[in-house]
Amino acid sequence: MPEGHSIRRLADVFVRDLAGQELRAGSPQGRFAEGAALVDGTVLRRAEAHGKQMFLGFAGGRWVRVHLGLYGKWVFGTGEPPEPRGAIRLRLQGPGADGEGVWADLRGPTACEVVTTAEKEAVRARLGPDPLRRDGDGGVFAERVARSRVAVGALLMDQAVVAGVGNVYRAEALFRARTDPYARGVDVGHERALTMWDDLVVLLHDGVRRGSIVTTAPADRPEGHRRGRVRREDAHYVYKRTGQPCRWCGTPVLTAEMVARNLYWCPVCQAGLPEVGTLPPAPPAASRRTRTAATSRLPLLTG
C-alpha cells in the first residue's frame, strides 16, 4: 500500500499539472459515473494529502476523496488519453499548461467519492497527525502513544494515531529509535514518542524528495555504494531483510505478524527501550519544534 510520501507526491502532481484548469470528469468503468458528473466541467482548485487519503478540491465546494488502498493507482499522461481499457474508476482531462492536453486515470482504489468540505474535515478529524503536513502535531502523536497499552508496533500502523505511516516506515522508524516493537505505548512514553515523531518527519520528507523510501545512513551501506543513487538492497535497515545480518550488530533480522502485516526488527538492537536522554532530536532543519536532547547514533540521511 502506498505510504504517506507517495500520496503527497501524487497531490503535488495534481497541483502542478491540473490545478486551475476546468476538467472533464468521467467514469469509463461506470462505478463512479454519478460522482464524476458532479465535478465534470468544474475547475480543480487544490489537491491535499492527509496520510494515505487524498482530496481533490473543485470549485463549488466539492471534493473527490481517494484512498488507493493496496491496489489503487493513478496514471498520468499528456495529449489525448488512450481508449479506456480495464477498470478505470475516474478519468480527469484538462487542457494542460501548453494547451496540448493532460489527463489522469484512477484504477482500483479502495475509496473514491464526492464529499462536501464538512465531510472532508470529518474524515480528517478521524486521522492522526501527518508528519508531512504543516499542521501535523507531534505532541498529539506522543500523547496518543504514551497513554496506550497497545504495542508501539501496532500503534504506528493505526492511522488514528499517526497518518501516513505504513509497514516500511514502521519497521525502519522503530529500528532507528532502537525500540522494541512489542513495547507498550505507555512504556515508550511521551519523550521517546516525540523523538520518533521527529524522525518520521525527516524520513517522510526525504521520501517525498527522493520518490522512494531510504532510511539508511551512508556509513551503514556497503563500501562503494555510500554515495549517489541508493540501491534497493541498501535502502533499509530491517524491512524485508528477514534472516540477513543487522547492519549494526550482525544479528539475523526477525519477522513476525503484527496487525496483519509482517513486522521486521533486530532482537539485539531493539531489545528494549533506550534511556530517554540518549535519543537525539531530528535534525533542526527538518523539525518545526525546538527541542534539546543528548545526541547519539540516529543516522542522518544524506547521499
DSSP the chain: ---HHHHHHHHHHHHHHTTTSEEEEE-TTSTTHHHHHHHTTEEEEEEEEETTEEEEEETTTEEEEEE-TTT-EEEEEESSPPPP-S-EEEEEEE--TTSS-EEEEEES-SEEEEEEHHHHHHHHHTS---TTSTT--HHHHHHHHHT--SBHHHHTT-TTTSSS--HHHHHHHHHHTT--TTSBHHHHHHHHHHHHHHHHHHHHHHHHHHTS-----GGGSPTT-SSSSPPGGGS-SSTT-BTSBPTTT-PBBEEEEETTEEEEE-TTTTSS---GGGSPPPPGGG-SS--------PPP---
Q: Show me where the domains of the chain are located.
A: 4-125, 138-286
20 vs 291, residue with greater confidence = 20
The class level of CATH for 4-125 reads: alpha beta
133: its cell numbers: 503536513
pLDDT tier at 280 (50, 70, 90 boundaries)? Answer: very low
Amino acid at 18: L
Q: Is 278 exposed, middle or buried (0-12, 13-18, 19+ CB in 10 A)?
A: middle
Distances (CA, A) of 33 to 60, 69, 83, 136, 164: 19, 21, 17, 34, 29
Active site residues: 2-3, 52, 261
Q: Is 27 exposed, middle or buried (0-12, 13-18, 19+ CB in 10 A)?
A: buried
55: its cell numbers: 482530496
The Cα 289–Cα 287 span in angstroms is 5
Question: pLDDT value at position 63?
Answer: 99
Cβ atoms within 10 Å, residue 32 = 23
Lowest mean pLDDT among 21-25, 115-119, 142-146, 275-279: 275-279
Q: What are the φ/ψ torsions at residue 50 (nearest 5 degrees)? A: -135, 105
Question: pLDDT value at position 278?
Answer: 54
CA angle 243, 212, 165 (to 5 degrees): 75
Q: Which pTM does this prediction carry?
A: 0.89
pLDDT tier at 228 (50, 70, 90 boundaries)? Answer: confident
pLDDT tier at 89 (50, 70, 90 boundaries)? Answer: very high
The Cα 252–Cα 257 span in angstroms is 17
- The candidate with the shortest Cα–Cα distance to 54, out of 106, 96, 89, is 106
The Cα 139–Cα 128 span in angstroms is 11
Cβ atoms within 10 Å, residue 9 = 16
pLDDT tier at 246 (50, 70, 90 boundaries)? Answer: very high
Lowest mean pLDDT among 126-130, 147-151, 273-277, 280-284: 280-284
Say if 4-125 and 138-286 have the same CATH topology.
no
pLDDT tier at 296 (50, 70, 90 boundaries)? Answer: very low
- Name every residue whose Cβ is closer than 8 Å to that of residue 194 and which is 6 or more positions away in sequence: 138, 139, 141, 142, 291
Strand partners, 146: none
CATH no., domain 138-286: 1.10.8.50
